[in-house]
Structure 1
Amino acid sequence: MSLLLLLVVLTFSKCKKGSDVATLENSSDLTEVASLSTSSITGIKTIDATKAFSDAGFSYKVINIPGASDSERTPKASTLRLFENGKELGPAHAMHADIRNLGKGRFSHWAGSLYFSASDNTNPRTNGRTYTYSLDGSTASAISPPVTPPVTEQPVAGSAPVGFASVDGKTTGGIGGQTITVSSLSALKTAVESNAASIILVSGKITGTGFLNVKSNKTIQGLPGSSLEGVGLMMYGSSNVIIRNMTIRNVVTYSNIIIKEGAHHIWVDHCDLSSDRNHGWDYYDGLLDVGKRADYVTLSWNRLHDSHIPMLIGFGDENTDDIGHLRVTVNNNYFYNVSERQPSTRFGYIHVFNNYLQNGSGYGIGVTMGATVRTDNNYFENQAVPIYTDYNAKPGYVSGAATNVYANSKANRISTAASTWVPAYEYKSVLIAAANVPAVVSAGAGATLR
C-alpha cells in the first residue's frame, strides 16, 4: 500500500491539463483515490452541486470524486458518466480551457476532482438541477421537476428579450423548474427567495412593505388583475431572472424594481410601475433602477407613470466601478406623468429605442458621466428637455438623436460630439417608425399579457 500511495503522489503532483495544474486538496483525498477502484463503486451517485467551487468561466469544480481519474499519462482513464436531471452531459475528458470558455456540458474527471459545466452554462450551484454520476456504466433516469396542478393562466411562452439580456448568454428565467401560483406575501417571499429554478404566477392583490430578494433562475409573472402593493422586487447579484406582467405600486423607501450588485441577464417586460407625485420628491424612490455593476439587462414594454424619477441606470457619480458594466436595452416603454429620468444614465452602454416619453416636466433621457447612449425612433411629446448631457459632474455621449420625433418639445441640450456607437445585436427587424410609436406603445405597454 505504501508503494501504491507513493506512485499516486508522484503521478498527481505532476499532472496538468493544458495550462492547468491540478492537485488533490489533502492527504485524505490521496488515500481515498488510491483505495477505491471503479469496480467497487456501483450505481448512480449524487453530487452536491451547491458546494462546487467556481473554476472560472463556465467551469465548476467538485472535489473527492472517487474512481480512476484522468492524468497526463492516462488521459482517458476515467469511466465517469455525468448527468444533469437524468440527461447525460459531455463530452467527457474535455480540456479545462474548453470547459471554462465553451461549457455546454463539457467535463473532466481529473486528479480526483470533477470539472464540469451546465448544459446551458448556467450556474449549477443555483440552477436547481440535480447532478449525478456513475463509474460502472449505469445510466440515470430522467428527473422530471415537480409540477403543481394546472392553472387557468399559463406564462406566455416562446418569446425572448431583444437586446442585452440576450447577449453573452440567454435569459430564460425559471424554465424547467416548478410552476407555483401564489396569492399571499408569505408565499411569494418563499417562492422568490428559494434557490430552485421556478416559474411563479402571482394571483390577486398582495400588499406589504419593503422588498423581496429575488434569487437566480426565476420567472415572476402576474396573472391578469394581480398587483403587488407597497412591496418591491430586488435582484441583488442574482442572474437569469424574468419579471413580466407585474403591476407594482407605491413602494416606499425602495424602488419598485431594483437590479444591482452585479446582477445580470435580467428581463423586465410588460410591467405597470407607478407611485404618485403628490408626496414630494423624497417620499418614494424610483420605479425601475439598475446600478452597482449590473449588466446585460433588457427593460421592455413597461408603463412607468406618476413618478418624479421613474428610471435610473447608474446610481451615483462616484460609482466608477460601473465602467465596463451597465449594458442595458430600454425599448418600447411608455413614460407619462413623470418629472425626469426617462431614463437617467451614467457610465454604461445603453440602447434606448421605440419609447414613448409623454409630458415630462424635466429632462427626458439624461446622458452623463461618460455614458454612451444610442437612441432610435423614440417619440418625445411635451418634454422640457428631451435629451440632456450636463446635469451631473461630466457629460455623456449620444448617437441617433436625429432618428427621434420631438413633438411640442424644447431643444435637446447635448454638449458632446455625436457618438458613433451602435449595439452589435440585431434589433432593426423589430424597430418601428418613430411616428407610429405613440399608438403602438400606448396600446401594448404595461401589464397587458393574457
Structure 2
Amino acid sequence: MSLLLLLVVLTFSKCKKGSDVVPFENQSDLTEAARGNGSIITGIKTINVGSAVSDGGFSYKVINIPGTSDSGNSPSVSTLQVFENGKALGPAHAMHADIRDKGKGLFSHWSGGLYFSASDNTDPRSNGRTYTYSLDGSGNSAITPPVTPPITNPEKPGSGTAAIGFASVDGKTTGGLGGQTVTVTSLSALKNAVESSSALIILVSGKITGTGYLNVKSNKTIQGLAGSSMEGVGLMIYGSNNVIVQNMTIRNVVTYSNIIIKEGAHHIWIDHCDLSSDRTHGWDYYDGLLDVGKRADYVTLSWNRLHDSHIPMLIGFGDENTDDIGHLRVTVNNNYFYNVSERQPSTRFGYIHVFNNYLQNGSGYGIGVTMGATVRTDNNYFENQAIPIFTEYNAKPGYVSGAETNIYANSKANRISTASSTWTPAYEYKSVLIAAANVPAVVSAGAGATLAR
C-alpha cells in the first residue's frame, strides 16, 4: 500500500505545478514542438486568444504553444516571453494558483500549453488587446496598443470649443465648422438639414414636434437656441462621423432613444443637452435617453442633464455584441442624472471614462460595468443610490478603477466583484477635474441646455 501511495504522489508531482493545474483535455492534439521536442521558433508569434479557455480566477489557458515548456523535473526551463500589446507580461514560471488568484500578467508555459493572465485582470478574449510571444528572446512585438494617445488638439480642453476626452482623440470633432449656418423652425426643415451631405451648422429655433427619428449625416453641428425643444422626435447618428449636438432639449421620444449613436459612428460630441421622458408609463414604453453601441467609437458625452427616465444611458447594447470589442471608447463627464432608475451609465465591452458626474436619486444601480468593460471613475458624486457601482447583473462582470475617488452620500455599498483595473485614459483631463465635493453645485448649475446661444 505504501508503494502504491508513493507512485500516486510521484505521478501528480510530475503532472501539476503547485498541485493545482488542470490537465489539458486534448493532449493528443499537441504537436511535437508543443511537447517540447520541436525546434525553437524565431521571432514574434501571435497567440490565438479566441481559443483560450478559463482556468479559473484570472487564469486562461491556450494549448499548442511550441518550444520547451516547464515540467515537474524542470520547472523553469521555458524561454517563453509573453507580450500584451507589445509590453512584456510576467513574471514567467508562475505558480498556477497565483495566476488564478493574483493575475496581473503572471504566466506559465507548462506541458505544452500557456496559462496566463491579463495585466489588469480583464478577460484576454474580450479586452481587445493583442497577445504575442517569443521563444528566442525577441522583445518587441511591434503591436500598436489600443491605449489612446494624448490629445494634440491645440484648443484648450474645457474651453467650450473642443471636446474633452475621446471625441478629441485620433482626430478632432468639429461638426459643421466651415459650413453654412442655417436656422430651422420646422420638422421638415430640420430633417432636410441634418440629412444633407454638406457640412452645416444647424440652429434649432422654437418647439419642433413629431414622431420617429432624424438620421444625422456626417459633419454637422446641431445647436438649440434658447427656449427651443424637440418633442417626440429623436436624433439617430448611424455610421456618421464628426457630429456635434449641443444645447438641445429633447423629450418623450417613443420607440427610440432620444439620441442614439451606433453602426460605427465615430468622433461624436453630445454636449449641454437636456434629455428626458417620464417614469409613469412603465419600463417598456420609452427607450433610453442617450445610447452608444454597435462599434461606435471616440465619443464624448458632457454636461448633459438626463432625468425622469428608467434607463437614461446605455453604452453597449447586448451581451452578444462581441464585435464592440476594440470600440466603444467613450468619455462621460459632468453630466447630471436624477430621478432615474439605473444606467448612469450601463456599460459593456468598451473603455469608458466617467468623471465629475452627479448621480442623484437612483433606485437601481448607478454605474454598471459588465461584459469585460473597463471603466475609470474620477470624482463622481453619488447621492441616494441603491448600488453606486455594480458589475454583476449581466453574463460577465467588467473592471473598475478609481472607485475610491468618488463620494457616496446616503448611498449603499458598491458591488464590485473584480480586481481593480489599472487602466487610465491617456488624454489630458486633470486640468478640468473638479473636487468630488463640489460636483453637485457645479454640475447641477451648468449641465443641460444652459448655453447662451
User: What's the TM-score, normalizing by structure 1?
Assistant: 0.65
The 1-side partners of 2:310 and 2:160 are apart by: 35
The 2-side partners of 1:219 and 1:160 are apart by: 13
Equivalent AA in structure 2 for residue 205 of structure 1: K
The 2-side partners of 1:246 and 1:310 are apart by: 16
The 2-side partners of 1:335 and 1:240 are apart by: 26
Structure 2: unaligned runs, 5 residues or longer: 1-152
The 2-side partners of 1:300 and 1:161 are apart by: 8
Q: How does 1:14-413 map to 2 (within 5 A)?
A: 159-413=161-415
CA shift, 1:249, in A, is 0.1
Match of residue 425, structure 1, among 410, 424, 427: 427
Query: Given the superposition, is the C-alpha separation of residues 210 and 430 from structure 1 closer, same or farther in structure 2, using an over 3 Å criterion?
Result: same
Give the ranges of 4+ consecutive aligned residues of structure 1 lying more than 2 Å apart after TM superposition: none
The 2-side partners of 1:198 and 1:222 are apart by: 14
The 1-side partners of 2:443 and 2:379 are apart by: 12
The alignment-based identity, stated in percent, is 90
CA shift, 1:159, in A, is 1.3
Structure 1: unaligned runs, 5 residues or longer: 1-119, 121-155
Per-residue CA deviations over 1:101-158 (Å, capped at 9, x if unaligned) read xxxxxxxxxxxxxxxxxxx9xxxxxxxxxxxxxxxxxxxxxxxxxxxxxxxxxxx996
The 2-side partners of 1:161 and 1:175 are apart by: 14
Equivalent AA in structure 2 for residue 190 of structure 1: N
Query: Given the superposition, is the C-alpha separation of residues 157 and 442 from structure 1 closer, same or farther in structure 2, using an over 3 Å criterion?
Result: closer
Secondary structure of 1:429's counterpart equals helix
The 2-side partners of 1:422 and 1:315 are apart by: 23
CA shift, 1:429, in A, is 0.1
Query: Given the superposition, is the C-alpha separation of residues 409 and 157 from structure 1 closer, same or farther in structure 2, using an over 3 Å criterion?
Result: closer
CA shift, 1:410, in A, is 0.1
The 2-side partners of 1:175 and 1:311 are apart by: 28
Per-residue CA deviations over 1:315-335 (Å, capped at 9, x if unaligned) read 000000000000000000000
CA shift, 1:397, in A, is 0.0
The 2-side partners of 1:372 and 1:331 are apart by: 16
Secondary structure of 1:215's counterpart equals coil
The 1-side partners of 2:161 and 2:340 are apart by: 30
Equivalent AA in structure 1 for residue 300 of structure 2: T
User: What's the TM-score, normalizing by structure 2?
Assistant: 0.65
Instruction: Report which structure shows greater RCO (CA 8 Å, sep ≥6).
Output: 2
The 2-side partners of 1:237 and 1:386 are apart by: 32
